[in-house]
Amino acid sequence: MSRFLFPTEYYDSTYSIDFQEYYNQGYRAVLFDIDNTLVPHNFASDERSIQLMKDLKDIGFKICLISNNKEQRVKSFNEYLQVEYIYKAAKPRGHGYVAAMKKLGTNRSNTFFVGDQLFTDIWGANNARIHSILVKPIDKHEEIQIVLKRYLEKPILWLYTRKHKIKTGK
C-alpha cells in the first residue's frame, strides 16, 4: 500500500548518521532537503550544518541540496555551505533528484538522499529510485500545510516501524 512512501532507512537525526560508513559502502553523493532536515524551517545555515558539509567534503562526498523552495531561500542557505543545489525541485517528482545526480556526475547506485517528509522527500527519492533516509524533523513548529501532512504520515510511519521492528529510529 504505502511502500512507495517507505524510506530505505530511518534515523532520529541527520546528525546521527554515520556518513563515513556510507562512503565505505561505495556511496559518493548525498542529496539533502533543507528545512527540518538540516536546520529548523526557514532558518539560515548554522554552525552544525556548515560543519557537516565540511566533514562530508573531507570524506570525499559530493553534495547537493534539493528543495521545493524558491532560489532566494536555497541560495542564501547555501552561502556558507558552498554545495550544489536544485531549487523548485517539484518533489515528489523524481526529476530534481536526477538533475542533482547529473550535476554531481553520480548515479542511482552511489547516491542517497536525506529528508524529513514522506510525501515530498522520501516519495521523490523513491520515484528517482535512490536510497532514501528519513530523519525526524528538527523542530515541531511548522507551517500549517506541513503540520497537516505530518498527521497523514503517522499511520505510514507506524506501518513502517512495525514492519522493520523499529522503536525510535536508528
In a domain? residue 170: no
Is the pLDDT score of 40 beyond 60? yes
Is the pLDDT score of 1 beyond 70? no
Task: Give strand ranges (E) for 67-146.
Answer: 84-86, 111-115, 131-135
Q: Residue 45 in contact with residue 77, Cβ under 8 Å?
A: yes
Secondary-structure breakdown of the chain: helix, strand, coil percentages, each rounded to the nearest 5:
45, 15, 40
Query: d(Cα 46, Cα 39) in Å, to the nearest integer?
Result: 7
Please confirm whether the linkage preceding 92 is cis (ω < 30° from 0).
yes
Q: What is the pLDDT of residues 69-111, one digit of tens each?
A: 999 999 999 999 999 999 999 999 999 999 999 999 999 999 9
**pLDDT score of 56:** 98
Task: Write the CA distances from 137 to 26, 28, 106, 116, integer angstroms.
Answer: 27, 25, 27, 5
Q: What is the pLDDT of residues 43-68, one digit of tens each?
A: 999 999 999 999 999 999 999 999 99
DSSP conformation class of 118: I
Number of folded domains that form the chain: 1
Is the pLDDT score of 156 beyond 90? no
Query: d(Cα 164, Cα 101) in Å, to the nearest integer?
Result: 29
Return the CATH number at 146. 3.40.50.1000
In a domain? residue 169: no
Phi, psi of 50 (to 5 degrees): -65, -45
Domain of 150 in residue numbering reads as 3-163
pTM (two decimals): 0.86
